[in-house]
Structure 1
Amino acid sequence: MAIKLNKEVEQRLLGSIQRYCAENMDEEVGELKARLLLDYCLREIGPSVYNQAILDAQAAMQDKIAEIETICYESEFSYWTKK
């Protein structure tokens, strides 16, 4: 599954890549090089990050589902024990 970014996010990321390269690598990077690097990251690194995020979300949901038993449990056949 390809990761699609909206235009605003893409532009902000391109600017961030350009700034990072300028400040940390002492290299001015134009928009084309920044776009190539962003495309590479989205294709090569993005799926791993996405898959880990899905695993994290699943684990969080499973924790919440496990809590349902203790939060939403109601004793059965308790009519006669309450009298």
Structure 2
Amino acid sequence: MPIVKFSREQEEALALKVQRYCSDEFDVDLGQFEAEFLLQFVVKQVEPEIYNHALEHCHKLAEQRLADLHDDLYQLEQTSAL
């Protein structure tokens, strides 16, 4: 099951970008179907890597936020006369 699901409008806009890129960089003219097919292939190939990278980034961010919370709670501690 794909992680990323584009709306029809998004997929058409991205396919148009693929068409332009292939035309500009490789002098290859792709039709709408070919561009969408290529887009789907590329997304399927890179999706797990991008997802895992984003997940790793979120994990690091959560760790930092937890460390910040720990510091904030430590600053709230009061000294005791005991």
Question: What TM-score comes out, normalization by structure 2 length?
Answer: 0.83
Shift in Å at residue 64 of structure 1? 1.1
Unaligned runs of 5+ in 2: none
Q: Secondary structure at the match of 2:77?
A: coil
Q: Secondary structure at the match of 2:57?
A: helix
Shift in Å at residue 21 of structure 1? 0.4
User: How high is the sequence identity, in percent, across the aligned residues?
Assistant: 25
For these two proteins, the number of residue pairs brought into alignment is: 80
Partner deviation per Cα, 1:26-63 (whole Å, 9 max, x = no partner)? 11111111111111112111111111111111111111
Counterpart of 1:37, as a letter, is L
Q: Secondary structure at the match of 1:8?
A: helix
Shift in Å at residue 11 of structure 1? 1.4
Unaligned runs of 5+ in 1: none
Distance in 1 (CA, whole Å) between partners of 2:24 and 2:8 is: 24
Match in the other structure for 2:32 = 31
The RMSD of aligned alpha carbons is 1.8
Counterpart of 1:52, as a letter, is H
Distance in 1 (CA, whole Å) between partners of 2:6 and 2:46 is: 15
Counterpart of 2:66, as a letter, is I
Counterpart of 1:21, as a letter, is C
Structure number, greater radius of gyration: 1
Question: What TM-score comes out, normalization by structure 1 length?
Answer: 0.82
